[in-house]
Amino acid sequence: MKVVVAVKRVIDYNVKIRVKTDGTGVETANVKMSMNPFDEIALEEAVRLKEAGIVSEVIAVTLGSQACQDVLRTALSVGADRAVLIETDTELQPLGVAKCLKAFVQKEAPRLVLLGKQAIDDDANQTGQMLAALLGWAQATNAFKLEIAGEHAIVTREIDGGLETLEASLPVIVTADLRLNTPRYATLPNIMKAKKKTIETLSPADLGVDPSPRLKTLLVSDPPVRKAGIVVNSVTELLEKLRNEAKVI
Amino acid sequence: MPTLVIAEHSNLTLRASTLHAVAAALQLGEPVSVLVAGYGAGSAAQEATQVVGVHQVIHADAPHYAEQLAEEMAVLIQKLAADFTTIIAPATVFGRNLLPRVAALLDIAPITDILAIESNDTFVRPIYAGNALAKVQSLEAKKVLSVRPTSFEAAAAEGGNASVTYLEPMPSVGLSQFKSRDLASSDRPELAGARVVISGGRGLQSGENFQMLEALADKLGAAIGASRAAVDAGFVPNDYQVGQTGKIVAPELYIAVGISGAVQHLAGMKDSKVIVAINKDPDAPIFQVADYGLVADLFQAVPELTAAL
């Protein structure tokens, strides 16, 4: 069985972002970019399923400019068999991405599509669910544990206050949460090998999709700054302040 | 044109998140209907009729709505959508799972995790873990939105008098089945709605040491949370996690114990009314957002605080 893993190139999670002074977005020039951490977890899960003999081929796909090839190289270096760039310079939003992925999935016919539960740049948490809707497939978001049993996926999900287990018919969309696994690091020989592999390229037009944005970002701004507080010297002083000044206890 | 709020409920009662979603819906100034789809959910539907400002409750009842699975719920909401210009769900795990599926069926780009409503087509939402705010305008004919519960004061749960309309269920799509749910049983208040939250970080050093926070939480009637570092280290389960990838909380009092204050954590708690930080490192970033900072060894300060209450 084939698995498609959708990955996104985002500002590295260790980078402290800066809002552009003109309010059009955040500064991305000369900023370290990486694969979205939740997508790394999704990819790791696919590779582990392959190592367990359940999956025959892992296909990593991303959308964006030529620059996105770097996350596909990363994907190849940790175990993806093929990597595909759906190349476009259009501003991408989750619905447009889901439509391109739908067409791509129909072409590749995997039984399982894995994605991260959200990307850490726009924090939208939408693409997996929308892809499932467009394909008419079952969805299991925020996955904590994934098992494939014949024609079903048994997925334990992170929910408010605990865990929930669903049994979904294949094909299914699964989005990865933090505790699904711990992704491996690429080894140097594998990084070198990945450099030599071919990255396939498609365009949204090849897939018959118009991914034009449907939402307009009017302004990106810094969040309101919390006023710095005071340092107290003892537990007694802390209690006094909480009781008499803040009046919260 | 009216607004539809998708209720989050347990079949027996409404979840608090529904009241916050109704409050956001009321800001749009149009009549508000609430969809209660469940199984044996008559009491939750009745409860919804009491919520102040709700005009109509739409009640659909069938076995396949018992667990409110996204696949089943989405087709039902798709059918209802023709009568509404705006569809709103709370941005909880429930709403986050369901709402984009509804939006895609309607071919509409949704806007999720809204913090503020500027007008009927313009909304403010956080990006980059709340390190930036984006003002987003929807060019769509219908708006499909999820709203962050802590950003909208809850609508009053009693005093309303809405009518109930029964909605014929759709046939089951049967793509997935609910198997089991394993909820951490606790006498403590729910993390998302607690008045006081005490969170522990890597500084706690072990899961056992969280007992120290429990003793303090008992005194304050508080919920217990944790930073992602504490969850990653295996001290506590993930449903304790406060932050970008965990729960968003805004209690009256938030006490951060042994938490350095990574941006991902701050994203989940910086809207708290009063923040207290206890950390032995005076340079920890948590002190930059704390109203009251105590530079101290938590293993001494926390028991002392508990004893003094």
Tell me the two tokens of residue A9: 């190139």
Cα separation, B65 vs B42, in Å, equals 13
Nearest-CA residue of chain B relative to A157?
Answer: B181
Check CB contact under 8 Å for B104 and A178.
no
Residues from chain A contacting residue B296 (CB–CB below 8 Å): 235
Look at residue A160 in the predicted model and tell me its pLDDT: 83
Q: Read off the tokens for B157.
A: 């749960």
Rounded mean pLDDT, A163-190: 96
How high is the pLDDT of residue B192? Answer: 83
Q: How far is CA B51 from the centre of its chain?
A: 18
| Phi then psi dihedrals of residue B6, to 5 deg | -90, 115
Phi first, then psi, for residue B48 (nearest 5°) are -65, -30
Domain parsing of chain B, residue ranges: 3-166, 191-308
Domains of chain A: 2-221 (3.40.50.620)
* Tens digit of each residue's pLDDT (9 = 90 or more) over A46-91: 999 999 999 999 999 999 999 999 999 999 999 999 999 999 999 9
ipTM surpassing 0.85, yes or no? yes
Q: Which of B263, B262, B257 is nearest to B276 (CA)?
A: B257
In this prediction, residue A200 carries a pLDDT of 98
* Antiparallel, parallel or unpaired: β B223-226 and B253-257: unpaired
- Residue-level pLDDT, tens digit, chain B, 309 residues: 899 999 999 999 999 999 999 999 999 999 999 999 999 999 999 999 999 999 999 999 999 999 999 999 999 999 999 999 999 999 999 999 999 999 999 999 999 999 999 999 999 999 998 899 999 999 999 999 999 998 999 999 999 999 999 999 999 999 999 999 988 777 788 888 899 999 999 999 999 999 999 999 999 999 999 999 999 999 998 889 999 888 999 999 999 999 999 988 999 999 899 999 999 999 999 999 999 999 999 999 999 999 999
The reported pLDDT for the residue numbered A225 is: 84
- Give the residue on A whose Cα is nearest the Cα of B73: A133
Q: Which of A11, A177, A248 sits opposite B274 (nearest CB)?
A: A248
Give the model's pLDDT for residue B239.
Answer: 86
**pLDDT score recorded for residue B67:** 97
For B206, the token pair is 């072990």
With beta carbons less than 8 A apart as the criterion, state whether A212 and A81 touch. Answer: no
Q: pLDDT at position B286, please?
A: 96
How far is residue B219's CA from residue B304's CA, in Å, rounded to a whole number? 12
pLDDT on residue B245: 82
- Give the whole-angstrom CA distance, residue B18 versus residue B22: 6
Domain B191-308, CATH among 3.90.380.10, 3.40.640.10, 3.40.50.1220, 3.80.30.20: 3.40.50.1220
Whether the ω angle into residue B285 lies within 30 degrees of 0, i.e. cis, is: no
Minimum distance, in Å, between the CA of residue B138 and any CA atom of chain A:
5
Q: How far is residue A141 from each of residues A13, A168, A174, A241, measured CA to CA in Å?
A: 21, 12, 6, 43
Measured between CA atoms, the residue of chain A closest to residue B302 is: A235
Q: What confidence tens digit (pLDDT) does each residue in A128-141 have? A: 999 999 999 999 99
Predicted pLDDT of residue B55: 97
| Fold of domain B3-166 | Rossmann fold (3.40.50)
Distances (CA, A) of A153 to A43, A244, B182, B233: 17, 56, 18, 28
pLDDT at position A240 is 96
Distance from CA of B100 to the nearest CA of A (A): 5
Contact predicate B112/A125, CB 8 Å: yes
Residue A247, by phi and psi: left (phi above 0), alpha (psi -120 to 50) or beta?
Answer: left
Nearest CA in chain B to A239: B305
In the sheet that B122-127 helps form, which strands lie side by side, from edge to edge? Answer: A215-221, B132-138, B122-127, B116-117
Q: Check residue B193 and give its pLDDT.
A: 82
pTM value is 0.92
Do residues A4 and A59 touch, judged by C-beta distance below 8 A? yes
Tell me the chain A residues in contact with residue B252 when contact means C-beta distances shorter than 8 Å: 248
**Residue B188: per-residue pLDDT:** 87
pLDDT at position A227 over 90: no
Name the helix (H) or strand (E) containing B215: helix B210-220
Task: State the best of B219, B245, B305, B306 to mutate against chain A, taking most chain A CBs within 10 Å.
Answer: B245
The pLDDT of residue A71 is 98
Does A221 sit within 8 Å of B192, measured CB to CB?
no
